[in-house]
Structure 1
Amino acid sequence: MNEEQFIEYCLSYPGVYKDYPFDETWTVMRHKGNKKSFALIFQRHGHLCVNLKCDPLKADFLRTLYTDVQPGYHMNKEHWNTVNLEGEIPLEEIQDMVEHSYHLTQPKIRKKKSQD
């Protein structure tokens, strides 16, 4: 999956837009509702990488399972992973990681107060 395909995949989720808050070298995928990032796409050491938010226990498991998953580059190492998109990780696993990050960062659904 190249960068353009990865961005298109992220944009397939509802309420998502791409942003360039740093410069054109980092593409950030955000939720429209709360502007939180769920995927930060960049080049590192000549490889296409993405930072994805992850539950800490799952993050540790994925780092153990795949050498192409490392603690988040320039992010909170407990809650973010950096994933080498050009590595040996199956596409389905990468898609699951994106979905997990998307759900962890999506806007909370507010319950309306009932009026008596």
Structure 2
Amino acid sequence: MTPQELREFCLSFNDAVEDFPFGPETSVFKVAGKLFALSALDARPLKVNLKCEPEIALQLRARHPQIVPGWHMNKRHWNTVTADADLPDHLLRELVEDSYDLVVAGLPRAERLRLDRP
């Protein structure tokens, strides 16, 4: 996945926005003001921090060397994923969507319904 593809995919979700609270080099993707993905899109290799269920995070880290505890994040709930040729694009897309869904699940019910995610 290219940086542009990652940006477009993150922004394809309902109410997703790109913000730069840490400076112009770090893209922060949010839904309803809550972070679901963070990446320095110009960095090589391309890496992205994504929220993950703690048990699943451990399983993913054990199976994929490209997935490690979240850099500068709560390592129980966040992974840093290196988007390289050995990590299938479909897996990265699933992880981004799961991160978005986890953040939306923590929003108030009215906000979830507004986003069509009960």
1:103 to 83, 90, 101: 101
Please, which runs of 5 or more residues in structure 2 have no aligned partner?
A: 112-118
SS at 1:110 equivalent? helix
Larger Rg: 1
Corresponding position of 1:25: 25
Structure 1 spans left out of the alignment, 5+ residues: 112-116
1:24 offset after TM fit, Å? 1.3
Higher helix share: 2
1:55-70 correspondence runs (5 A): 55-70=53-68
Once the two structures are TM-superposed, the CA of residue 87 in structure 1 deviates from its matched residue by 4.4
Alignment partner of 1:77 is 2:75? yes
Structural RMSD (CA)? 1.8
- The 8 Å contact of residues 68 and 87 in structure 1, kept in 2 or not, is answered as no
Figure out how many residues of one structure are paired with residues of the other and give that number: 109
Per the normalisation by structure 1, the TM-score is 0.87
> Quick one: percent identity of the two aligned structures?
37
Aligned counterparts of 1:24 and 1:44: Cα–Cα separation in 2: 10
Please state how far the C-alpha of 1:86 moved relative to its aligned partner: 2.0
The AA in structure 2 aligned to 1:66 is H
SS in 1 for 2:40: strand
> Are the equivalent residues in 1 in contact too, given 2:3–2:41 (CA < 8 A)?
no
* TM-score, normalising length: structure 2: 0.85
The amino acid across from 1:15 in the alignment is D
2:7 alignment counterpart: 7
